[in-house]
A and B are shown apart, each in its own frame.
Chain A
């Protein structure tokens, strides 16, 4: 499998230079076609920001201050706005966390699903809507042709997330980034939506970056995992390896916090004492040290870089412990 997306040493900051806040620090990962990479971490660890930076959608005040994002051999960061727009929704598409607010309340579902087809393939609205109906069918929305004329408020949360998936798949993108696609959904619907997403990406042989805070999801759907903490990756490995052999104290904490399979999969990761640090005021050294049961004085010297532990690309960022 050849690498499709390679993010290297990516650092992202918000604000103006001297007093900017680095919310993502030296993040490196890659994903190949047909592969699913899960990015796991607590709220505020920088998962969404990382995802948005790939599409150049950081918005006001956010910028990539270091590193590169190579997609199909091209550094996205060096492209101009028009070139990035040709990639968005076409070669890379994104599914967002909030199905209730991520669809435009004033436009019909049909128009919203057909829109990327219309702009990226230059076909007529009629043809684009025809394809949109087929897409809705593929994401198992009953009566797709009828529902094209409906508005988002006429759909349930799960249905809207299916619509979002249909929209993301519209141009058969090589890479799909799903940012906590099921967090806002009912438990019963979560599995359906994830299964659908997984099946369809497999059919298209696309790469999937699945952002989640739920390690239970990771086990079922991911090939590789990157665990993020306070803007940095603290451990990365294949999903199997990570489950069998978690190394970083933070990952161990996360594992312990998975409630016996799925008592309440919606609960945020909380089993680790203390709360995630404020990225604007990170402690010296390892950002996890204040909450780490294995921490010692050596931990505050510097922020530990990722290093290989064991084989098969298993890496982690911790000095104190092997």
Chain B
């Protein structure tokens, strides 16, 4: 028998009892809805974590300076010196360790950059040669700093995508070749870079809002001693480096390498004026929590699908009971047992698939709402939609078979006597 014919024989009932059908499907609707939204959110989170890794590369260990709250042994004057963070000997010692390919450094200028009286939302870093490569920035105009810039301590800079607008406004067309003044120094712009992933590094707000100069230039035109605060109660910060991006040779033992760096830093620094992070571990941690989330939500979804299925079975059993006379009549005019079975089974499956469709809509809505209100990324995958449809169908078959079997095996004589 064709599906279309089965439709004629049975489906009208579902539309006759629209509200009842809808209520019956609620379990499926919520079950599928939570499956879809859960998968969308964990998919989105995973994608975000991967994007971060993508930007940095997974073969990196980040070591960074942490500012101290107060001075250690303060001198008699009101001016104290804060001496903290990563230093050159740290860098050299790390470089001597096994499994280290290179250490890329960055030092942030703490003195604010101004334009007239206005303080600009821009930071300046003096960085080592491979910085652009190791933070995954693209050169969109001009060039990156060259080895000769470093050798000659050239007064050149490369700027982040947003810097031009912040310093020159929207009017300026060609930026490469222009000069930027920071403090007393004039820096010639040689290139513009862009960080598509908007990577956040420890101590760096946004690479697109920053100016980069060769580390050699930085050391010669700026000072590692910077005075912060008012004249009366200024603090002098002495920091040699803010950031090491440690690139390893062998990813397999990255954890081991990170531990050794940690141990070394612990020995070399009396206070905890430094921090360390391994992006790969962040991803792993994220995955672990994701998995717990998936298991919990999956169980909830599974339970609501089972409860929904039982609800549907219940309604279908009532339906079979109510329609005994119809069943008897149909048997009398030539329906085989299996015709009756298919009729009721298809009705249940249709109900659950319809519920599944509504559930998919609900799930997409929930995922979009969560993204909208909490900013958590989400991504509804085709596989989750196809899978949900399949699950809905399977729930229909699993929970529809017994009522359909019961309908098919009604004694036609007794069924005909039913009112």
Question: Are the chains A and B members of one assembly?
Answer: no
Interface residues in chain B, defined as those with a beta carbon under 8 Å from any beta carbon in chain A: none
Interface residues in chain A, defined as those with a beta carbon under 8 Å from any beta carbon in chain B: none
